[in-house]
Structure 1
């Protein structure tokens, strides 16, 4: 009967190791999420400036007639 108690205690020890690993992964994911949010806030002004510049370039561009494409010959 000693083997039963040994196997049960090893099972609990294995679960404790898995719980510790899951906790470490959870902390890492939380830290990564905070880093992504910080980077998103830091890049937001550049993103909006780039979007404004792109819309200004699209407004300034003159539309081409449909038949005037690049011809290869």
Structure 2
């Protein structure tokens, strides 16, 4: 009877450990889902501003006056 008890103790501890790991994994899963929703909300909010900034950047690059190649900037 004693041998059966020693077998049952590690099995019970292993099962308890798996339950703890499953709980932690579920919490991580919920956190990742929440983080994904937050990222999507942020993308939706920043999307129009990002495209406006890209438009302004392309306008600035198009209006830039080309400089003739020279020696560059020299420090004194």
TM-score by length of 2: 0.90
Q: Which runs of 5+ in 2 are unaligned?
A: none
Report the counterpart of residue 43 of structure 1 in structure 2: 46
Q: Which runs of 5+ in 1 are unaligned?
A: none
Q: Distance in 1 between matches of 2:69 and 2:28?
A: 55
CA drift at 1:70: 1.5
Root mean square deviation, CA, Å? 1.0
Q: Which runs of 4+ in 1 moved over 3 A?
A: none
Corresponding residue pairs, total: 73
Secondary structure of the corresponding residue to residue 72 of structure 2? coil
TM-score by length of 1: 0.94
